[in-house]
Chains A and B, each alone.
Chain A
């Protein structure tokens, strides 16, 4: 698993790509905690979000959860196939289970997020 992932405390991951965009998904821990996923609502491409703002919803049998933007920026791509194959989130949360791509307003914002060891310590606590 790539070591260049950063994590938000709200369980989203983000990975900067070579073209200046960043890919966003939700952590394996979050997928495991939600279980029984039934629905995902993606944001519109072109939507501008601030860090911490909702970028969509993910619903399990038991509850609805918001997904949050780890950094501020513009949604430039969404994984439109994902809502129809939510099992992908369980199988490959850091690859094929990606959710959106964001063009960050300020790539330095990624430094505010948790690295993998810090995130793993958070979810184990």
Chain B
């Protein structure tokens, strides 16, 4: 990580619109523009506009790119159809029985190059970009695959909320708008948004319907301002990292460094779906950490990820102890007020036999004991499925 913070192409916009800038994962980012609660509610009720350009964006191309990623990622890559995205873990190993989870990532199979060469895009966490890139580069074959870190040539904007798709489609011609509206979840396409070429995917990190756009860095301000201008009269608000965190927490989504860490058991934290031990044919796949992951699946972990609901607004924070009858049975991994619910929630790793919904626990929030109960995740689920 560099010593002076990195800036996204939108840094001046953020500063001139009241963004409170903080250092996050080596980047200067807005934590909020107004109130985290107001920004959160805008994303739930209308739309939120997020600069997520700090996320790492990698381009992987070449005749061998699918087979290479297939050999490295916990999800199958060989059978991703063009225009589909998959959530995966990035793992490394120091030996046949070890496992290090380097990151979680989204891999998208983009439209092939005109000569038929496969192209994939990978989005990784800002905090892990350096080590993921270093690991992937160290694993590159002599030929057939190229990897480019496109983080600084591009920008990434998330538009999330019930009006998000409509707002973005209003900035596209009718063909592109029709194609974007028909995108299923975890589907991607290319479109011209506000006059600029964009990779558009129906993905996000808020629990709402929405889109993520990757555009050239020098188009970022124009596209952002067009979305902001079109959406503001309908309730869209720019949202900082504060609302991004409360939205993902309310939606029960894990965050690397909190719920998911280097030695996590994915099956214990609800990420079993991110691990394909076997190929579609049923034969075992080969990827770093596969042996350890197979054992984790066969031998369920003692602690699992749960949701905790509090009566009060006072939030447990990462590291707070979860206690039953005076014995510590778990640890909070994330906690906050849940703005839509109006009370505090937390995610925690808790002993499996106490992880059933309704179990009453105490959480040590600094010097106070806060009662809570185990509830199913997510805490919040949007009511209306997208049309």
Size category of the B interface is: 10 to 19
Instruction: Verify B313–A39 contact, CB threshold 8 A.
Output: yes
**Chain A residues near B368 (CB, 8 Å)?**
41
Residue from A36, A41, A57, A59 in contact with B36 in the complex, judged by beta carbons closer than 8 Å: A36
Min CB gap B339→A, angstroms: 7
The answer to the question of B312 belonging to the interface, with a C-beta cut-off of 8 Å to chain A, is yes
Given A35-B35, A36-B37; A61-B314 close (CB under 8 Å): no
User: Taking CB as reference atom, which chain B residue is nearest A39?
Assistant: B314
A-chain residues with CB within 8 Å of residue B314 when the two chains form the complex: 38-39, 59
A residues 25-72 touching B (CB-CB < 8 Å): 35-36, 38-39, 41, 57, 59-62, 64
Which residues from chain A contact B34 at a C-beta distance below 8 Å?
35
Instruction: Closest A residue to B22 by CB, please name it.
Output: A62
B315 at the interface (CB under 8 A from A): yes
* Given A36-B37, A38-B313, A61:B366 Cβ within 8 A: no
Q: Is B373 an interface residue (CB 8 A)?
A: no
Across the interface, which residues of B come within 8 angstroms of A41, CB to CB? Answer: 368
Kindly list chain A residues whose C-beta atoms are within 8 Å of the C-beta of B312.
39
Q: How many angstroms between the C-alpha atoms of A112 and B217 in the bound complex? A: 51
Nearest-neighbour CB distance to chain B for A21, whole angstroms, equals 27
Which of A35, A38, A39 is B32 in contact with, Cβ under 8 Å? A35
Task: Sort chain A's interface into a size bin.
Answer: 10 to 19
Known: A59-B315, A61-B242, A64-B366. A38 touches B35 (CB 8 A): no
B residues 13-50 in Cβ contact with A at 8 Å: 31-32, 34-37
Assess the B36–A35 pair: CB atoms within 8 A. yes
Contact (Cβ within 8 A) A38 B36: no
Contact partner, B35, options A36, A39, A59, A64, Cβ 8 Å: A36
Give the residues in chain A near B317, CB-CB below 8 Å.
64
Determine the distance from Cα of A61 to Cα of B37 in the docked complex, in whole angstroms.
8
Looking at chain A's contact residues, the main secondary structure is strand
Whether a CB of chain A sits under 8 angstroms from the CB of B268 is no
Q: How far is the CB of B172 from chain A (nearest CB, A)?
A: 35
The answer to whether A38 touches B366 (Cβ under 8 A) is no
* B337 at the A interface (CB under 8 A): yes
Q: How far is the CB of A95 from chain B (nearest CB, A)?
A: 22
Q: Are B36 and A62 in contact (CB under 8 A)?
A: yes
Complex-state Cα separation, A61 to B36, whole angstroms = 7
A62–B242 Cα distance when bound, in Å, is 7
Residues of B within 8 A of A39 (CB): 312-315
Q: Which of A35, A59, A61, A62 contacts B339 (CB 8 A)?
A: A61
Interface string of B303-315 (1 = CB under 8 A from A): 0000000001111
Residues of B within 8 A of A59 (CB): 314-315
Bound-complex Cα distance A64 to B367 (A): 13
Closest to B317 in A: A64
B189 at the A/B interface (Cβ < 8 Å)? no
Give Cα A41–Cα B313 distance, bound, in whole angstroms. 12
Does B53 have its Cβ within 8 Å of any Cβ on chain A?
no
Please name the residue on chain B nearest to A59 by beta carbon. Answer: B314
Q: Is B246 an interface residue (CB 8 A)?
A: yes
Complex Cα distance A63/B34, Å? 16
Q: Does B336 contact A (CB under 8 A)?
A: yes
Where the two chains meet, the residues of A that have a C-beta atom closer than 8 Å to any C-beta of B are: 35-36, 38-39, 41, 57, 59-62, 64
Pick 10 A–B contacts, CB within 8 A, sort by A.
A36-B36, A38-B315, A39-B315, A57-B366, A61-B36, A62-B31, A62-B32, A62-B242, A64-B317, A64-B366
Known: A36-B35, A38-B315. 14 other contacts (CB 8 A): A35-B34, A35-B36, A38-B344, A39-B312, A39-B314, A39-B315, A57-B366, A60-B36, A61-B37, A61-B242, A61-B246, A61-B315, A62-B36, A64-B366
Pairs A-B, 6 closest by C-beta atoms: A38-B313, A39-B314, A61-B36, A38-B337, A36-B36, A36-B37
